[in-house]
Chain A
Amino acid sequence: MARERKIKIIVAKPGLDGHDRGAKLLSRIFAEAGMEVVYTGLRQTPEMIVETALQEDADVVGLSSLSGVHNYFFPKVVEMMREKGLEDVLVVGGGIIPLEDIDALKTAGVHGIFGPGTSTAEIVDFIRNNVRTREA
C-alpha cells in the first residue's frame, strides 16, 4: 500500500546573518511535526542552499533572514532552484521582513513569507497544505 513519505525540509540561513534562534526553533518544531529536517547552519550562499536541496531531495526550502537581505537572497535562491529543475520544491521564508516586501517576494517565487509574531502552527500548516505529495 502506498504511504506518504515524510516531508523533507531544508532550513537555511543565507548570507552572513547570525540570528539563528528562529531557524533552530523551527527546525525543532518541524521535526516534532513529523518532518525530516536538515539545518544548514550559518553563512550559506544561494549555491550552497540549492546544492543541499538537490542532494537531500528536499520537498521544502525554508529561508531565514533578519539582516535585511531577503530581497537579494530569497529571489536568488528561487532562481537557482529553477535552473536546477527544482520548480516543484516549496520555498518559504521568514525573519524581519517588512509587509511591503512580501508581494515582490511572492512574485519572485517564494510561496510563503512569515514575519515576526507568526505562530509556528501556521507555518507548519502552510507547508503541509502546499507541499508536493510523494509516495515513499
Chain B
Amino acid sequence: MGIDGRHHAATVLRRQDMFEEKDLEKIKAGKDKWEQGPVGKTLSRAPERKPVFTSISNIPVERLYTPLDVARTDFDRDIGYPGEYPFTRGVQPTMYRGRFWTMRQYAGFGSARESNARYRYLLRQGQTGLSVAFDLPTQAGYDSDHALSMGEVGKVGVAIDSIEDMRVLFDNIPLDKVTTSMTINAPATVLLAMYLAIGGEQGVSFEKIGGTVQNDILKELTVRGQYIYPPKPSMRLTVDLIEYCFKNVPKWNTISISGYHIREAGSTAAQEMAFTIADGIAYVQACVDRGMPVDSFAPRLSFFFNSFTNVLEEVAKFRAGRRYWAKVMKERFGAKDPKSMMMRYHVQTGGVTLTAQQPLNNVVRVALQAYAAALGGCQSLHTNSYDEALCLPTQDAVTVALRTQQVVAEESGAADTIDPLAGCYFVEALTDRIEAEIEDYIKKIDAMGGTLPAIEQGYIQKEIQNSAYRFQREIETNERVYVGINKYTMEEPPPTNLLRVDMSVGEIESEKLRKLRAERDQAQWKMALDQLREVSQTDRNVMPAVIEAVKARATIGEICDVWRDIYGEYRPKEFV
C-alpha cells in the first residue's frame, strides 16, 4: 500500500491554522521592524558569537522563532492530543501524570551471580524494570570456552551459556512482578527461550510474562556489529520470534527497533530517527509478507533511542519520530488499531557524549539528556553513569545515574504536564524540519529498493560515517565547543576506583560448561538439537524447538552452531 492522499485527507476534519492570516501579517511587520531596529543597532555595536548557529546535528538555528515559523501548522493534524493519532504529544492520554516512565538501568557484568546481585540492588533502590547486558560471546552466539570468547567473557555484560546461568541470573526475582529488557539480537530467540523456561520454573505463565528483546538485526549490520548469520536467515529468526510471541506471549515486546547505536556511531538526530524508521518499515514488511495481519503484531513493536545534551533538538526528534511512524503505519501499512501506530520507546542517554576528561561533568550532561527524554515522552529510560568513558560503571556511579532520573521525575516538573514544549515556535518548527528530513531519507531508501538494499550498498553506513567525520572536524577546528575536550581543559589526576572484571570469569564459566556437558541427559539433549535442526530447514517457526533445546540444557553456542551450519555466517563488506 503506497502513501496516498485519501487516507490522509480523511484524518483531517477541519483546517485549524494556529494563526489567522491577518495576525501573521502583523507579526511579520513587527519582526521586520525589530530586526531593522534593535537587532540592527546591537549588531552594529557587537556582532554575534558566530556568523551561523547550528545544532549539534548541524541544523541551522535562527535568532528568534515566531508564529511565522509555524504558520502552516494545523493543530489537530500536526499536534493534537496525547494518546491520539498522530501521537505527536505522546502515546498515552495521561502520560507521566498516571505513572512515571519505567526506570530501567542497563546492567550486567561478570557471572550471573554478580549480575543478579546488581539487579537486586537496583530494584531495592527504586528501579522499576530490569535491563540485561550480555557479554559479547553471548551476543555473538559463542560459549564461554570458544576460542573467539578469549578475553571477552563477562566483560561488557553477563556471561550466559545455558539455562543454568539464566536461573542464577533471575534468582529471587519474580518474573511476574518485573519486566525485563534483554539486549540480545542475533541469538534473541535463544535468550527469550531461556527466560520463558525460567518463568515456567517459577510458575509464571506465558500470558503474564512481560519484557523486551532487542531482536533488531538490521542495525547490527549497519552500526553495532553483533551479527551472526546473513541478512535473510537473520530476518527469518527475527520474524519467527515476533510471530511466536504475538500468539503465545502477548505482553512481550518482540523487538526494540534501535536508533541508539546509529546515533552512537555518529549520525545526526534526524538520521537516527530516519534510519530507525527505515529498519522498522523493513520489519513490518517482513511480518506482513509472512502473512501476519498488521494489527496482530504491530502493537508489540517498540523502539529505542538516544538522547543527547541539546534538549530542544532531542524533544523535536522524539515528537517528529512519533508523528511520522504513526503516518507510516496508518498510510503505508493500513493499520487500523491505534496501538499499531504508536511509537513506544526506551531511551538511553548518549554514551558517546560522555568525556573521560573531568568525568563529573557527565552528571550534568546526563541530567540534561534525561530531562530531554522526559520532555520528549519516553516510556522507559536508562541514565548513563558518569564514569562510562573510563570503564564499566561502579555501583556509586550507577546510583547517581538512577538518582538523576528520579530527580527529573520527582523534582523538575517535567512529568506534571504532557508535552510541555508543544506550541513553542522553535520546537514545533524543529519538529517539522526533522520530520521532513526523515521523510526525505525514507523516500531515498524506498527508491533504492528498501532498507536491506540500502544497507548492502553501504548507503546508510556512509551517511552515518560522514556525520561522524563532520562532528570530529568541528571539534578539532574548535568550530564546536566540547567542555573539557577543546575548551575549559585542565590537568587532573588519573581516575581511581574503576570497576574491573576479573579475567578468571572466563575460566570459571568454562569449568561450568565442562560440568554441564558431562552431566546433562545426552539422549534428550541430542534429540532436542536434532529436532531444532530439522525445523530450521523448513519454514516452520523455530521458537518451540529452541525452547525444548534450552530445557534440554543445550548451550547458546550449540544452538547457534546448528544455524551456522544451515545458514552460514555473515561476512560484511566494509565501507570506510
- A residues near B (Cβ < 8 Å) are 15-21, 24-25, 27-29, 37, 39, 41-43, 45, 67-69, 72-73, 96, 98-100, 115-117, 119-121
Contact = CB atoms under 8 A, between A and B. Distances in A.
B498 A68 contact: no
A68 B503 CA distance: 11
Contact of A98 (B152, B391, B503): B391
A68 B224 contact: no
Contacts of B476: 119-121
Interface string B126-151: 00000000001101101000011111
B380 interface: no
A72 B503 CA distance: 9
Contact of A69 (B152, B391, B576): B152
Given A24-B576, A25-B465, A99-B494, A68 B225 contact: no
A67 B472 CA distance: 22
A96 B390 CA distance: 6
Contacts, number: 101
B391 A72 contact: no
Given A20-B225, A21-B468, A120-B472, A37 B495 contact: no
Nearest to B140: A16
B226 to A, nearest CB: 5
Interface in B137-169: 137, 139-140, 142, 147-152, 155-156
Nearest to A115: B356
A68 B392 contact: yes
Contact of A68 (B137, B140, B389, B391): B391
Given A45-B148, A67-B155, A121-B476, A100 B576 contact: no
A35 to B, nearest CB: 13
B151 A73 contact: yes
B393 interface: no
Top 6 A-B pairs ranked by shortest CB distance? A18-B225, A72-B151, A16-B136, A99-B494, A116-B356, A69-B151
B264 interface: yes
A18 B226 contact: yes
21 contacts: A16-B226, A17-B225, A18-B223, A19-B225, A20-B265, A21-B265, A24-B468, A28-B576, A41-B572, A43-B140, A43-B225, A45-B148, A67-B136, A67-B155, A73-B151, A96-B389, A96-B390, A98-B390, A98-B495, A117-B356, A119-B475
B562 interface: no
Interface in B366-387: none
Given A67-B155, A68-B155, A116-B356, A100 B498 contact: yes
A125 to B, nearest CB: 13
Given A42-B225, A67-B136, A68-B392, A15 B152 contact: yes
A117 B485 contact: yes
A100 B468 contact: no
Contacts of A17: 136, 156, 225
A8 to B, nearest CB: 15
B501 interface: yes
A98 B359 CA distance: 13
B354 to A, nearest CB: 8
Interface string B439-472: 0000000000000000000000000010011001
Given A43-B148, A72-B150, A117 B472 contact: no
A72 B155 CA distance: 12
B32 interface: no
A100 B389 contact: no
Given A15-B136, A117-B355, A25 B472 contact: yes
Contacts of A117: 355-357, 389, 484-485
B557 interface: no
Contact of A116 (B150, B389, B465): B389
B62 interface: no
Given A21-B468, A73-B151, A39 B495 contact: no
A69 B291 CA distance: 44
Contacts of A25: 266, 465, 468-469, 472
B495 A69 contact: no
B574 interface: yes
B475 to A, nearest CB: 8
B139 to A, nearest CB: 7
A119 B473 CA distance: 10
B576 A27 contact: yes
